[in-house]
Chains A and B, each alone.
Chain A
């Protein structure tokens, strides 16, 4: 079942001179894990904002085309009602806490309180998420006194606990150190294994290769490529759009250039091990 459907969507922020999204068509099936890549200002965050209804409900501006999320017409749905359907995790780890809660535990419960979930259920759901994400040791800390990585994990927990049908995760690790990045991706990995419909905007291309089933490349407000990760991320044309390829794909392309009969271009380390291992068995010259 398609849970996100964008048809001929164009959108311009009121402060922008040109359109930020141009004739975007996108269908996302339930359970898909999609990564959105592209250079800065390509329209990745705007795409997320349109799916969540922030554009145009929050930012104003003109949107043409139709946006349906979870069967709801986003343009005709109150911005608050979409809280049930779409969870959104932002880039800056420090700007996502409510600012009114004294412990991480209550911070995570805030969304459920707003949705009017019964107290007993809130306790159960928050406990479950805290244990699932391995952040029980943070539960009694003050949300303002966490490191970036901890903050981002709490932000993820605060959204996951609301059990939205769709998760938008916008560059969650761009401001984090390697340890924080690792911790956040462990959670993303878990979400993928659970089959959560997820759209991840990410620059770290090796991570994208590891997790995404499908990759969307954006440039100047348009979707310029859309397909299986293995196909998109091994295409050297990506470099023209200001996006790098995964390390292993670059290696694979280089090996092919050198005339080695590589069956397919690997995009993850595991795939590289298999492909290159096969080459060695064949005595391909390595």
Chain B
């Protein structure tokens, strides 16, 4: 990539894909609306439908794999368990859905499981799509535009980078300890025992790095008292502003109506 291309990459948040190019605030409002609807909508179709629709959206902007992978594990682990548990331990009686040996699974149980799953799926697909389609830098810039102090956005952003970095450090320490004969692989108990001696050097090195890091930041004018320039610009439009207000209004109305029907049921 030459410098001109880099300028463009840095100077514009446009990536040429509809969902990626939306302002982070719009995506945040959208996710908020999706989650609210997941709570208020009666029945179980909403969560599953939302997951499918967002899968399509993710596919159009090259995020199909990321989104699909996470949602698949949510589907298998959480939703599967939820339906199973609700179905097996349902005490309402009623119509039997299927009989497995000594267990009878009631239709009511399955429905209750599906309803709970719908809420989980609504929450998780909205959040997963939001995080997958939003670059953290742009999200923080948007928050700064909404008066979030730069020090707060710094803390959040640096955490995004620090966690994988600590993972790398942890692996290095573990390799060094393995080289000195500490067992780090095997049963759960062995792994647990190996975890504790790793924790100490990891934390201590993080603390000592923190001192140098804060001095390095200071050198870069972190505490210099002036309005900061930002190379990256987050694009927004009147249409998006209107869409955000519209979304909130429609969702509020839908939530009230949906909630009413849920209450009736």
Does B218 have its Cβ within 8 Å of any Cβ on chain A? yes
Residues of B within 8 A of A96 (CB): 212-213, 216
The interface size bin for chain B is: 35 or more
Residues of B within 8 A of A2 (CB): none
A139 & B229 in contact (Cβ 8 Å cutoff): no
Residues of A within 8 A of B217 (CB): 98
Does B195 have its Cβ within 8 Å of any Cβ on chain A? no
* CB 8 Å contact bits of B218-257 with A (1 = contact, 0 = none): 1111111111111110000000000000000000000000
CB distance from B164 to the nearest CB of A (A): 8
Does A92 have its Cβ within 8 Å of any Cβ on chain B? yes
Which residues of A89-127 have CB atoms within 8 Å of chain B's CB atoms? Answer: 90-92, 94-103, 105-106, 109-119, 122-123, 127
A162 & B220 in contact (Cβ 8 Å cutoff): yes
B154 & A83 in contact (Cβ 8 Å cutoff): no
A115 & B216 in contact (Cβ 8 Å cutoff): no
B161 & A144 in contact (Cβ 8 Å cutoff): yes
Does B179 have its Cβ within 8 Å of any Cβ on chain A? no
A102 & B137 in contact (Cβ 8 Å cutoff): yes
* CB 8 Å contact bits of B189-222 with A (1 = contact, 0 = none): 0000000000000000000010011111111111
B221 & A118 in contact (Cβ 8 Å cutoff): no
B137 & A119 in contact (Cβ 8 Å cutoff): no
Residues of B within 8 A of A100 (CB): 137, 154, 157-158, 161
CB distance from B247 to the nearest CB of A (A): 29
- Which of A90, A97, A113 interacts with B230 by CB under 8 Å? A113
User: In the bound complex, what is the Cα–Cα distance between A116 and B223 (angstroms)?
Assistant: 12
Given the interface pairs A103-B6, A140-B6, the reply to whether A83 lies near B220 with Cβ below 8 Å is yes
Does A54 have its Cβ within 8 Å of any Cβ on chain B? yes
- Which of B3, B221, B229 interacts with A80 by CB under 8 Å? B221
A116 & B226 in contact (Cβ 8 Å cutoff): yes
CB-based nearest A residue for B1: A140
Residues of B within 8 A of A101 (CB): 137
B165 & A115 in contact (Cβ 8 Å cutoff): no
B221 & A122 in contact (Cβ 8 Å cutoff): no
Does B96 have its Cβ within 8 Å of any Cβ on chain A? no
CB distance from A166 to the nearest CB of B (A): 12
Given the interface pairs A80-B222, A87-B219, A102-B137, the reply to whether A117 lies near B229 with Cβ below 8 Å is yes
A90 & B212 in contact (Cβ 8 Å cutoff): yes
User: In the bound complex, what is the Cα–Cα distance between A80 and B94 (angstroms)?
Assistant: 72
User: In the bound complex, what is the Cα–Cα distance between A113 and B144 (angstroms)?
Assistant: 14
A139 & B221 in contact (Cβ 8 Å cutoff): no
CB-based nearest A residue for B135: A102
User: In the bound complex, what is the Cα–Cα distance between A88 and B223 (angstroms)?
Assistant: 15
Does A191 have its Cβ within 8 Å of any Cβ on chain B? no
CB-based nearest B residue for A110: B220
CB-based nearest A residue for B210: A95
User: In the bound complex, what is the Cα–Cα distance between A58 and B218 (angstroms)?
Assistant: 10
- Chain A to chain B: the 8 pairs with minimum beta-carbon distance, closest first: A114-B221, A80-B223, A83-B221, A111-B220, A116-B226, A80-B224, A100-B157, A99-B158
